[in-house]
Structure 1
Amino acid sequence: MLNVRSVLVTGSNRGLGLELVRQLAGKNNGPEWVFAICRDPEGPRAQELKNLAAKYRCVKILPMDTTDPSSIKVAAAKVTEMLQGNGLNLLINNAAILRQSTLETETAENMSEVYKTNVIGTMLVTQAFLPLLRKASQESPQKGMSCIKAAIVNISSEAGSITSYAIWEHGQPINYYCSKAALNMLTRCQSLGYEEDGILCIALHPGWVQTDMGNEVVQAPMRVDTSVGAILSTLSRLTEKDSGTFINWEGAVLPW
């Protein structure tokens, strides 16, 4: 099991992010801190997340807009304060958006908006929390790399694979496909850049999951709890040999 001391999840008020918080917080000997990040913690779509925070003391809800640098800076300062000198072990960049389109109907506005959230937002969030990840890595007695020590997990999609295009027939949101391909490259760059810091970096495809986004075109085949359970199991097994790879929820390597 993934026995991590501190974890931060973006986009945690629904779907995959919410279930990640639920399963992490509900574990025996679970994390001491589960930082649940979303844009509007006081909004109606965050009620389930607030219920989890009321049930589990480890869940700390914080507002953050991943497209707003000042918002990210404030959240990073707050997490630093709450960790009381400790580092952050696991950063899960889960926040993402999609705009329905085709090659003919795609717009510059859609492309820019989706890229800003799915790629630039992930980059900015990682930059902001990098000092805490470095601290966790430096202070860990463990050798090598692991998600228990210090790791960045970017939630990607097989839709971003240039080699595999199996879901093309179900819809062509070009903005999303291109953003996930770019996110995969960002992950590869992070793995190279943070290798000396001992920070593990992976891009992870969670499967075609029954979330609001996953069900936009047709009903997705995989339950959210099934995906997250497998993801947490996979994360617990990752080592330095996995850093810089693109894997699915079960740990199988996917083609770029």
Structure 2
Amino acid sequence: MVVGRFLVTKHFLPLIKNDGTGKLIYITSKSVSISAPDHHGEVTGYGMAKAAANQQLKSLALDFQRDNVPITTLAFEPGFIKTKLTGWLGRVDIEEACTGMVDIIEKLSPDMSGLFMNWNGKTIPWSGGRQMSSDSNRRVVLESSSSTRE
């Protein structure tokens, strides 16, 4: 899961850069968030793969900003979806989650690059309650608000 996503991104980036602008979106999972109150590590391998994807997007966001590349990155957590696979125990309808994500993608701006969000636009902390942001090519650590957790 980690290598495949990396290679697809590696080979598509030149095409996106040639276009002059773009959005790089990954679907990941809240299981990467070690700061989530309900994180118990029961899906460690899955969480590690998704955390690698989030880290790749965060690193790309900082690189793009530093190099003035107009590509916006975003990691999405679609929620616990009601599907046959989840035994219909999910809390979110697939249509609701998809509509929410499409709305956010359409409104996505470069200042949102590198964020990890859920399907309804709430930022999810995933790095021990802290998030990295780039400010004029300097890395600044920002405390995440407890109100951003869902």
Q: Distance in 1 between matches of 2:11 and 2:83?
A: 28
Q: CA deviation at 1:204?
A: 0.9
Which residue identity lines up with residue 242 of structure 1 in the other structure? M
Q: Among residues 37, 47, 57, which one is paired with 1:177 in the alignment?
A: 47
| Conserved 8 A contact 2:31-2:43 | no
| Larger Rg over CA atoms | 1
Which residue matches 2:92?
A: 222
> Pairwise mapping of residues 108-127 of structure 1 onto structure 2 (< 5 A)?
117=1, 119-127=2-10
Aligned to 2:59: 189
1:162–1:181 contact (8 Å) kept in structure 2? no
Ranges of 4+ aligned residues in structure 1 off by more than 3 Å? none
Distance 1:162 1:179, change over 3 A: same
Matched, 1:199 2:71: yes
Q: Partner of 1:194: helix, strand, or coil?
A: helix
Q: Which runs of 5+ in 1 are unaligned?
A: 1-116, 138-148
Q: Structure 1: which amino acid aligns with 2:15?
A: L
Q: For CA contacts below 8 A with separation 6 or more, give which structure has more relative contact order.
A: 2
TM-score (norm 2): 0.74
RMSD of aligned residue pairs (Cα, Å):
1.9
Separation (CA, whole Å) in 1 of partners of 2:53 and 2:18: 24
Which residue does the alignment assign to 1:160?
32
Identity rate, percent: 27
Q: Which residue of 1 aligns with 2:109?
A: 239
Cα distance in 1 for residues equivalent to 2:62 and 2:81: 30
| Structure 2 contact 33–39 (Cα < 8 Å) conserved | no
Distance in 1 between the 2:37 and 2:54 partners? 15
Aligned residue pair count: 124
Q: Distance in 2 between matches of 1:178 and 1:252?
A: 22
Give the 3 Å change call, closer, same or farther, for CA 183–131 of structure 1 in structure 2. same
Matched, 1:128 2:11: yes
